[in-house]
Amino acid sequence: MLRLTSNQCVAITFMLNGREISGPIEPRMLLSDFLRDELGKTGTHVGCEHGVCGACTVRIDGLAVRACLTLAVQADGRRVETVEGLAGADGVLGALQEAFHRHHALQCGYCSAGLLMSLTALFEQVASPSEAEIRDVIGGHLCRCTGYAGILAAALDVTKVYKEKTTI
């Protein structure tokens, strides 16, 4: 049984975007803070810190989850994916990122990383999700710039559904 005192600092290890990483944590450290402050991976944004806004959404073992509602210690031994892992090693954007760019699915960009991780998880689970399924997933994120139209268009474009529709 793992047992840590409140100020005990231990190293955790997990796969981050396909590479094993390790870093020190205390029990109370949130995964979002570990990613940003210990690992310097600032692509994961922190908004509300109580699970409402979705900015910090990452994937753990493939599932989209809130990094601010996950303790870093809970990610120990897991597979974590963040927005930094979406583009290729050569910097070429992924299909969803490309579609976000094409459809102006962001303005300030604060919510984008979380949306990209949620939608990536959806596309992995459902090859060609319906508009309703996409809306359900996007509903877990707050975007105050776009009104969501561009985000929905980008996601639909990736599913190829968009091409068959004249308007959304």
Q: Which residues bind other proteins (CB under 8 A)?
A: 1-7, 26-28, 30, 33, 49-51, 54, 57, 63-66, 68-71, 73-74, 118, 136-137, 139-140
* Shorter beta-carbon distance to other proteins: residue 30 or 152: 30
Q: How far is the CB of 122 from other proteins (least distance, A)?
A: 8
Nearer to other proteins by Cβ, of 32 and 97: the residue is 32
Q: Report the b/e string of 11-45 with b at 16+ CB within 10 A.
A: ebebebbeeebebebbeebbbbbbbbebbebebbb
CA distance 117 to 90: 20
CB of 12 to other proteins, least distance (A): 11
What value, to the nearest 5°, has the Cα angle with vertex 63 and ends 60 and 67? 50
The answer to whether 96 touches 129, Cβ cutoff 8 Å, is no
Q: What does the block give as tokens for 44?
A: 């994961």
- Smallest distance, other proteins to C-beta of residue 4, A: 5
For other proteins, the closer of residues 5 and 166 by Cβ is 5
8 Å CB contact between 9 and 24 = yes
Smallest gap, in angstroms, from Cβ of residue 91 to other proteins?
Answer: 28
